[in-house]
Amino acid sequence: MTWLGVLVPVYNVAPYLEECLASVVQQLPADGGVQLLVLDDCSTDGSWALMQQLDRRWPGRLQLLQHAHNGGLSAARNTMIDAATGDYLWFLDSDDKLLPGAIAGLQAIVRGHAPDVVLCDFAVWRERVRLKHRLRGEGHRRSFDGPARRLVRDRAGLMAGMLGTGQLHAWSKISRRALWGDAAAGVRFPVGRYFEDMATMPLMALRADSFFYQPSPWVAYRQRGGSILATMTLAKALDQSAALLPLAQALQGRPELQHAGLRLALAQHAARSLIGAMRHACRGPAAAGDAAPSAVADQLRRNFLDTSPLTPEALAGAYLRRGWWLRRHKFLRWFRAQPRP
């Protein structure tokens, strides 16, 4: 029986791919039960040839797939969701790696508690670790704000805890395959959009009845240049501010939205997205083909209002009651910001 599928999308990651896949292969149980799916999304750097070479080195360990046309990260993940046969799905980016003991730790939780979702922590992985990185606690980053090391049945608490840390990446959340449903009516990553994890993982969590948070770093997240945030554009800023709109729409009329912690966490996450996006919109003149910065800023404000269950005044008041003066000032400053013409 296949109890776990590890899904690795590949696109132009030849320098990192072997280390990523080796970190999984070295942990595969002797009695099987783990499917390692690796999909090439039309790489141009030799990644597909490397995948075939590694498949020969580790016979029977990898299941290789290849897209006929480049579709992007979301399309690659969606293809693998449909191809996976495991009871649980674990997404792993092809420049990251699993830390030792991750699969064994997950298996113990699944066997002992059978939760719908398992959440883990992560480590930031740098080629050169400096003192400032250690002081930031990059060796162990939390992905969840809530009860740990026990089975919990609290859907609103699950979403509040995910939103509270702002760590909505797919690779720190292992979920039952059944939560994703079929391609027509289930949850899938949005093709052609940035911040796809932010848009998708809360929708998956909305289908879960139980969760288990293990506060151990199971994933090493490689920090390298060229990330979405490091190469921000107005189009990316708009996608960032709109990423949680599907969640806000899905929550309408549901009892989870009455959960005070979830309401505040969603409002705060919408505020963080607004601030990050607005900073870019106000940075300077638009590039060729971009919308005018003033129009983008207006859209960012509308996206916040459509996403947040709290009005700007209510969120500012919540900050004030908690003594979060700086957070309140920053939010109001950027909500009211006007880009230079």
**pLDDT tens across 246-279, in order?**
999 999 999 999 999 999 999 999 999 999 999 9
pLDDT band at 235 (very low <50, low <70, confident <90, very high): confident
Overall average pLDDT of the 127-146 stretch: 77
Q: Is residue 341 part of a domain?
A: no
Q: What CATH number does residue 220 fall under?
A: 3.90.550.10
Quick check: 227 pLDDT over 60? no
**Residue that is last in its domain, among 224, 240, 264:** 224
Quick check: 29 pLDDT over 50? yes
Residue 181, CB-side half-sphere exposure with 13 Å CA sphere:
13
Tokens coding 101: 């003991």
pLDDT band at 288 (very low <50, low <70, confident <90, very high): very low
Q: Is residue 274 part of a domain?
A: yes
Domain identity same for 242 and 170:
no
Q: Is residue 305 part of a domain?
A: yes
Domain identity same for 154 and 241:
no
> CA 1 to CA 4: how far, in whole Å?
9
Q: Is residue 198 part of a domain?
A: yes
Domain identity same for 237 and 116:
no
Please count the structural domains in the chain.
Answer: 2
pTM, rounded to two decimals: 0.94
Tokens coding 76: 């690659």
Domain identity same for 249 and 272:
yes
Q: Is residue 236 part of a domain?
A: yes
Quick check: 325 pLDDT over 80? yes
Domain identity same for 174 and 318:
no
Quick check: 230 pLDDT over 90? no
What are the angstrom distances between the C-alpha of 182 and each of 62, 201, 250? 24, 16, 18
Quick check: 312 pLDDT over 80? yes
Residue 178, CB-side half-sphere exposure with 13 Å CA sphere:
8
> CA 110 to CA 116: how far, in whole Å?
9
In SS3 terms, 160-180 reads as HHHHHHCCCCHHHEEEEHHHH
Per residue in 36-62, pLDDT tens?
A: 999 999 999 999 999 999 999 999 999
Domain identity same for 211 and 240:
no
pLDDT band at 283 (very low <50, low <70, confident <90, very high): confident
Contact 2, 35 (CB under 8 A): yes
Quick check: 228 pLDDT over 80? no
Q: Which domain holds residue 243?
A: 230-335
Domain identity same for 176 and 240:
no
pLDDT band at 234 (very low <50, low <70, confident <90, very high): confident
**Residue that is last in its domain, among 195, 224, 253:** 224
Domain identity same for 64 and 175:
yes
Domain identity same for 237 and 284:
yes
Q: Is residue 135 part of a domain?
A: yes
Domain identity same for 199 and 249:
no
Domain identity same for 10 and 126:
yes
**Residue that is last in its domain, among 178, 199, 224:** 224
Quick check: 239 pLDDT over 80? yes
Of 13, 10, 81, 84, residue with least CA distance to 40: 10
Domain identity same for 102 and 218:
yes
> CA 316 to CA 304: how far, in whole Å?
14
Overall average pLDDT of the 121-135 stretch: 74
> CA 320 to CA 297: how far, in whole Å?
25
Q: Is residue 73 part of a domain?
A: yes
Q: Is residue 340 part of a domain?
A: no
